[in-house]
Amino acid sequence: MSAPRVVAVAPGSPAARVGLVEGDEILSINGEVPRDLLEWRQLVDDGTLAVEVRRGGLLETLVDVDKRAGEPLGVEVQSALFDKVRTCDNHCEFCFIYQLPPGLRRSLYLKDDDYRLSFLYGNFTTLTRFTEADLERVVSEGLSPLYVSIHATDPQVRAEMLRNRRGATSLRWLRALLDHGVEVHGQVVVCPGVNDGAILDDTLAGVLDRYAELASVCVVPLGVSRFNTEARMRPHTTAEAVAVVDCVHDWQEVFSSVLGRRMVFAADEYYLLADRSFPDSAVYGDFPMYEDGIGMARAFEAELFGTGFRATAEDRGGFFRSADADLSGSSDAEYEPYRGVRATGDQLLRIGPRRRAPVAILTAPYGARVLRPLVERLGRPDVRIVTVDNLYFGGNVAVSGLLVGADLARVLADEPPGHRYLLPDVCLTQGRFLDGTAPGDLPLPVEIVPADGRSLRAALGSRAGG
Ligand code: SF4
């Protein structure tokens, strides 16, 4: 266990009034030691708190806080889990963490499989390490929704995909969660030749048969980087992507007729791979799976042209759904959402719509395919798309979230100075790219823009109406 450390105190808050300061370590609250942010929130909800504080690593004092019950304490702590993250005991062939280049910060290699991070950040869990005690806590504390990796409902296929024999049985916990009324969103990562075709059909039949209470199921393609060492893992062919899209559409009809809702959705990436147009935005409702790559293109379009906005703007995850952990020198990890804070405050775009310089939108190949027709509709000859191929990760990695400084620097080196270069914030974590560089290291200044249509519209000025 590591004591939660204060990283910010809200001015005028109860914490500020009693003199809590950044750097304080909270050893206990009313005699209890919180294991994670969930317990922390419950403890600080009380009106009267006796907070045991360690300051400067030495001095320990007891601070009495008197506030209204339910009033926020006004303290932000550095991490979501104060005990150890539950790491996964699977060895999936398609795991992107195994496909990372060496030498990145250690936290990126952490394979978490912790239901608490699923609840807090939307990370997917396979439930292979889930226990009866976990179920009790989920139910008693109302930790809903949760996000579960299904991949296949056939026990043998699932165990093979996870390379873990517990994969064959751990979906019994999914059944138990649904029995207790927990909202669960499922995910199927499709690996061609492994769980597509008849297996995907069987999986979606299994969902209908055994897990029909699932809130949704997203079907996403595997990512393959140039560091992949698994012989069976390869990108989809166009025909395979078409087959997945058709399969999902067929099952949407079945689910609609049986359950009255579509239930299963293919990731936007599949429509790009299959060279199909995206479904109408109405298909996605209020975009509940936006952060899983479902309906992003349609949401972006609606936001850019001001015809609609996502109801759920809250970011709760990242492009490989992990947690950022400082593992240095300690067996206990400090956690924060992998993509919780993207750009730092001073990097965020200061929008200057009166600026007349030509605008270049830096984006990855998938982003370019989505954005190019939208920008054409804007009727803005001063705005162009600059596609940045991902040579750093290679393989089929083509999403903007995995853009790194090395590739951006290579592309910007050939671009003219004096233009505005807009960069989506999704490729930054705490102000840094995955390769450890920062926007300030790039050869030309860039403006960091939140990766949604409304923010791009604002960045382009008021003339985006097309
Ligand atoms: S893909 Fe997820 S469950 Fe599989 S090995 Fe990687 S972290 Fe674990």
The model's pTM:
0.87
What pLDDT score does 337 carry? 45
Which residues form ligand 1's pocket by a CB distance below 6 Å? 88, 90-92, 95, 97, 111, 113, 126
The strand ranges marked E within 143-249 are 146-149, 184-190, 216-221
Residue 323: pLDDT band by 50, 70, 90 thresholds?
very low
Q: What is the edge-to-edge ordering of all strands in the sheet holding 59-66?
A: 25-29, 48-55, 59-66
> pLDDT tier at 301 (50, 70, 90 boundaries)?
very high
In this prediction, residue 79 carries a pLDDT of 84
Partners of 420 in beta bridges: 359
The span from the CA of 365 to the CA of 347, in Å, is 24
- For residue 54, the CA-to-ligand 1 centroid distance in Å is 37
Q: What is the pLDDT of residue 324?
A: 39
CA of 70 to the centre of ligand 1 (A): 37
The β-bridge relationship of strands 75-77 and 6-9 is antiparallel
Average pLDDT over residues 316-323: 34
Across the chain, mean pLDDT equals 88
Distance between CA atoms of 408 and 305, rounded to whole angstroms?
A: 27
For atom 6 of ligand 1, the residue with the nearest CA is 95
Mean pLDDT computed over 360-377: 96
pLDDT in tens, 155-204: 999 999 999 999 999 999 999 999 999 999 999 999 999 999 999 999 99
**Which residue's alpha carbon is at the smallest distance from atom 3 of ligand 1?**
90
- Atom number of ligand 1 nearest to Cα 124: 2
- Measured from the CA of 98, which atom of ligand 1 is nearest? 6
- Probe residue for ligand 1, chosen from 90, 160, 320 as the CB with the greatest number of ligand atoms within 8 Å: 90
Q: What is the pLDDT of residues 17-61, one digit of tens each?
A: 999 999 999 999 999 999 999 999 899 999 999 999 999 877 788
| Ligand 1 centroid to residue 74 C-alpha, Å | 35
48-55 and 59-66: which strand pairing? antiparallel
Q: Which of 268, 162, 248 is nearest to 207 (CA)?
A: 248
Which ligand 1 atom lies nearest to the CA of residue 322?
Answer: 7
pLDDT bin (cut points 50, 70, 90) of residue 348 is: low
The number of the ligand 1 atom at minimal distance from the alpha carbon of 111 is: 7
Report how far ligand 1's centroid is from the alpha carbon of 111 (Å).
6
pLDDT confidence of residue 342: 57
Instruction: Give me the percent of the chain exceeding a pLDDT of 70.
Output: 89
Confidence of residue 144 (pLDDT cuts 50, 70, 90): very high
- 345 or 93: whose pLDDT is higher? 93
User: Helix 365-378 to helix 296-304 angle, to the nearest 10 degrees?
Assistant: 30
Mutate which of 100, 112, 126 for ligand 1? The one with the most ligand atoms within 8 Å of its CB, which is 126
Q: Which of 91, 92, 110 to mutate to test the pocket of ligand 1 (most atoms within 8 A of CB)?
A: 92
Residue nearest atom 2 in ligand 1 by C-alpha distance: 95
Q: What pLDDT is stored for residue 355 in this prediction?
A: 63
**Residue 165 DSSP code:** G
Distance 36 CA to ligand 1 centre (A): 22
| Residue 425 pLDDT class (50, 70, 90 cuts) | very high
Mean pLDDT (whole number) for 138-149: 96
Query: With 90 as the cut, is the pLDDT of residue 464 above it?
Result: no
State which ligand 1 atom lies nearest to the alpha carbon of 97: 6
